[in-house]
Structure 1
Amino acid sequence: MSAATIHHVEVAAAHDGIAELNVTLEYENGGRALITLDEYATRILMQSTGVDDPEDLTGKGWEHVRDALAASSARYLNDQTSDQRENSHV
C-alpha cells in the first residue's frame, strides 16, 4: 500500500447545517480519494496535526485522517456500550 498525504481540503455544509471537512488524499502513484469528516473528526484531525487553519493540513500524512475517523466512530461505539450497560440493569 502506498503512502498518502492530504492534497486538498474544503469546508462544506452538511445536510444538518454543521460544517464538514472534505479531504482529498493523494497517493504516491497519483491516485486520489475524497474523504468527508464530520465536525468531531475534523476537530480531532486539527488537534492531532497541531494546525489552526484547515489549509495548513495540506501535506500531512493520511494516518491523521484515519485516526480522526476512528475516534469519531468510537464515540458512537462508546455511547452504545454505555446504553447497553444501563439497559441491562433494568
Structure 2
Amino acid sequence: MSIAVISEVQIAAAHDGDAELLVTLKYENGGTTLVTLDEYAVRALFDSCGTTVPEKLIGASWEHVRDALIASSQRYAGASATGH
C-alpha cells in the first residue's frame, strides 16, 4: 500500500456556508487526492494531530484523515439506530 501524507490544506466554504477543510494527500508516487472534511471531521483531525492550526497538519499521515472521516460518519450511527 502506498503511503500518503497531508501536503496542503485550505479552508473553504461549503454549500451551506459552513467552513470546510480541503486536504490534499500526496502519495509516494507523486499522485494526489483532494479530501473535503466537514467541521466534525476537522475537529477529530485536529485532536488526533494535536493541533488547532491547519498548516501544522502538513506532513501528517493519511491515516489521521481516514480516522477523522470515520469519526464524522459514525456520529450518525446512533441517531439512525434510534430513529432520531
Structure 1 spans left out of the alignment, 5+ residues: 85-90
CA RMSD in angstroms comes to 1.0
| CA deviation vs aligned residue, 1:31-76 (integer Å, no higher than 9, x gap) | 0000000000001000110012001000000000000000101111
Q: Percent identity?
A: 60
Once residues 45 and 79 of structure 1 are traced to their aligned partners in structure 2, the CA distance between those partners, rounded to angstroms, is 22
**Which residue identity does 1:55 align to in structure 2?**
E
TM-score between the two structures when normalised by the length of structure 1: 0.90
CA distance in 2, matches of 1:6, 1:40: 18
**CA shift at 1:83, angstroms?**
1.5
SS at structure 2 position matched to 1:80? helix
Counterparts of 1:39 and 1:82 in 2: how far apart (Å)?
24
The structure whose residues are more often helix, as a share, is 1
Aligned to 1:69: 69
Residues in 2 aligned to 1:56 and 1:79: alpha-carbon distance in whole angstroms: 33
Compare CA radii of gyration and give the structure with the larger one: 1
Query: How far did 1:22 drift?
Result: 0.3
